[in-house]
Amino acid sequence: MARNLFWFRQDLRLEDNVGLWHATQHNEECVALVIISPEQWKHHHDAPSKIFFYLRQLQEIQEDLKHLNIPLIIKTIQSWSNVPKYITSLCKKLEIEDIYANVELATNEKHRDDQVKEALSKYKKNIHLFEDRTLFPTQSIRNKSGEAYKVFTAFKKTCYERLSISIPRAYPSPSKQKSIVIKDIENESLNDLISQFEYDTSNSAFKIEVGEKTAQDKLKDFVKSKMNNYDQTRDIPNTDGTSQLSPYLNIGIISVRQCLEEVLKDNDYIFSIQSKGQQTWIDELLWREFYQHVMVDFPHICKHLPFKKEMQKIQWRNSEEDLKKWQTGQTGIPIVDAGMRQLQQTGWMHNRVRMICAMFLSKNLLIDWRLGEKWFMQHLLDGDLAANNGGWQWSASTGTDAVPYFRIFNPVTQSQRFDPQGEYIRTWVPELKQLDHKQIHAPKEHIENYPRPIVDLKSSRARALAAFKNI
Ligand SMILES: Cc1cc2nc3c(=O)[nH]c(=O)nc-3n(C[C@H](O)[C@H](O)[C@H](O)COP(=O)(O)OP(=O)(O)OC[C@H]3O[C@@H](n4cnc5c(N)ncnc54)[C@H](O)[C@@H]3O)c2cc1C
């Protein structure tokens, strides 16, 4: 009787889960495992709301797994250095035949898996790892010289060529296993972990709905009623023009293959572009893909280093005070403050505003982008090392295919262009509610309880240009 172990990570779904599908193919016995690592979460600066979301989704998974006769073991292990020992002893106790999991792409995770592999090999056991997080296996999209792409447009072109040959399809549902009772194995209670959660969960970031069905419904609704206008609405922060699927994609409640399938299902899963909106959305999925691939090919970005190593030389300003004002939405630049407050209150920020806030910190305030990257990670429900790092390094002009250092967004002009009526600002900065659509982007007079701008946009721009020009 073969008994397999499936180890959940950032792939909290049953449908189209490559590793889980493989683990359940023998229709025999399967046990699932998830390792909770609070120390690791701290090390990665994961937002409490994201951790809470993860734990609540695990509750769903645990229930859903019961229908497949797969028990879920929950184990807290603070440090990953203790994981190999735990896995080997669990495999011995449960008489596990094979271990299955989906690859995690960041360096610490890879190192952990190498150590698990080595420990298991002593007992002649193997861990089967599958690529599940991206449309194409990492390191498989190469230029003609066989090298990794550093520029998105060229990467995208190759992806389009690959898609026109065949679409990566979603895997079928896992099959029901033989019933199994596991004894004498310590198992923690998710209810206890959730009820003892050490953070205040009253904020709306903690209320996001979990569940594969929720994510699927959101996807279907977006594709049906919003996607075709996405090219027009995606940059307007006050409209509900984007899918808001990022928290679900990030912890794997939904897969990128499922997203692409939904987009192409009315076209018999043949890759052909039907509208500008559809193309723009696929391009965004490919930006996600690009940053995941970049992280594997250029792992130094996981170690707090700029993609362009010469950018290490930039002399960042050290200003705790300005950093704090940026973090708390008190810069006196309304669009920046609106974005930073939206982030704190909801765990999410609109992409256009993420770019504006990131550029304001790294250029106008000339504060190290890594401090902004950390703050975003500490608050984002969708915090993802590859996408967050990619977005920050793009904005700070230190990354792959980054914005040229001399193209500095003027936050006021951006605000006038993308929030012309000031509705987004009014939602998040109520102190400015009474101002009209001309005044609201850059109030001329002092407004009660609202600060004056902490920097002059023109001179701070010149300061940034000088700092970057020297490199
Ligand atoms: C400074 C900065 C930090 C960011 N940090 C993150 C992060 O931690 N996690 C994260 O998922 N995204 C991040 N992004 C990218 C982007 O802002 C979000 O993915 C997007 O706002 C999520 O909203 P949505 O799901 O409605 O996206 P949609 O517009 O509906 O796009 C669909 C999906 O495509 C992917 N995507 C879209 N835009 C990008 C992009 N520019 N880069 C990578 N993937 C993209 C996301 O998975 C998204 O869910 C960051 C961008 C910037 C500029």
What CATH number should be reported for the domain holding residue 343? 1.10.579.10
409: tokens are: 């967004």
Question: Considering the domain boundaries, does residue 384 fall inside one?
Answer: yes
Number of structural domains, the chain?
3
Among 80, 281, 326, 369, the active-site one is 369
Give the SS3 label for residue 154.
helix
Question: How far is Cα 173 from Cα 21, in angstroms, rounded to an integer?
Answer: 7
Query: How much distance in Å is there from the Cα of 426 to the middle of ligand 1?
Result: 24
**Which residue ranges have their beta carbon within 6 Å of ligand 1?**
234, 242-246, 249-250, 284-285, 287-288, 291, 351, 354-355, 358, 376, 380, 382-384, 387-388, 390-392, 395
Question: Considering the domain boundaries, does residue 193 fall inside one?
Answer: no
356 and 378 together in one domain: yes
274 and 333 together in one domain: no
355 and 411 together in one domain: yes
Among 21, 80, 287, 394, the active-site one is 287
318 and 456 together in one domain: yes
Q: How many CB atoms lie within 10 A of CB 125?
A: 19
What pLDDT shows up at residue 199? 87
278 and 353 together in one domain: no
Last residue of a domain, one of 231, 265, 297: 297
401 and 458 together in one domain: yes
Q: Which of 246, 379, 384 to mutate to test the pocket of ligand 1 (most atoms within 8 A of CB)?
A: 246
| Total residues belonging to the chain | 471
Question: Considering the domain boundaries, does residue 202 fall inside one?
Answer: no
Nearest CA to ligand 1 atom 26: 244
- Checking 423-427 for CB contacts under 8 A at 24+ apart, the result is 423/238, 424/237, 424/238, 424/335, 424/338, 424/350, 424/353, 425/334, 425/335, 425/338, 427/238, 427/338, 427/342
What pLDDT shows up at residue 367? 98
Question: Considering the domain boundaries, does residue 157 fall inside one?
Answer: yes
162 and 260 together in one domain: yes
Question: Considering the domain boundaries, does residue 203 fall inside one?
Answer: no
Question: Considering the domain boundaries, does residue 72 fall inside one?
Answer: yes
348 is annotated as an active-site residue? no
Note down the domain range covering 326: 309-469
392 is annotated as an active-site residue? yes
SS3 content of the chain, % helix, strand, coil (to 5): 50, 5, 40
Question: How far is Cα 312 from Cα 384, in angstroms, rounded to an integer?
Answer: 23
Q: Which atom of ligand 1 is nearest the CA belonging to 377?
A: 8
Q: Which of 220, 288, 301, 362 to mutate to test the pocket of ligand 1 (most atoms within 8 A of CB)?
A: 288
Strand 127-130 relative to strand 98-102: parallel, antiparallel, unpaired?
parallel
Question: Considering the domain boundaries, does residue 194 fall inside one?
Answer: no
Question: How far is Cα 411 from Cα 262, in angstroms, rounded to an integer?
Answer: 36
Helix H or strand E encompassing 76: strand 72-76
Q: Which atom of ligand 1 is nearest the CA belonging to 388?
A: 5
CATH code of 16's domain: 3.40.50.620
41 is annotated as an active-site residue? no
Question: How far is Cα 62 from Cα 67, in angstroms, rounded to an integer?
Answer: 9
What pLDDT shows up at residue 127? 95
What average pLDDT values come out for the chain (471 residues) when binned by 10 residues?
A: 93 98 91 95 95 97 97 95 96 94 95 96 94 98 96 97 96 94 91 90 93 98 97 97 98 98 95 95 98 96 92 96 98 98 97 98 98 98 98 95 88 98 98 97 95 98 94 84
456 and 394 together in one domain: yes
Strand 98-102 relative to strand 3-8: parallel, antiparallel, unpaired?
parallel
Nearest CA to ligand 1 atom 2: 391
Query: How much distance in Å is there from the Cα of 332 to the middle of ligand 1?
Result: 26
What pLDDT shows up at residue 240? 94
100: tokens are: 């299955």
281 is annotated as an active-site residue? no
Last residue of a domain, one of 109, 132, 155: 132
324 and 266 together in one domain: no
Question: Considering the domain boundaries, does residue 177 fall inside one?
Answer: no
CATH code of 290's domain: 1.25.40.80
Last residue of a domain, one of 266, 297, 328: 297
Q: Which stretches does DSSP call E strand in 269-363?
A: none
Give the SS3 label for residue 77.
coil
145 and 66 together in one domain: no
290 and 315 together in one domain: no
319 and 291 together in one domain: no
What pLDDT shows up at residue 99? 96
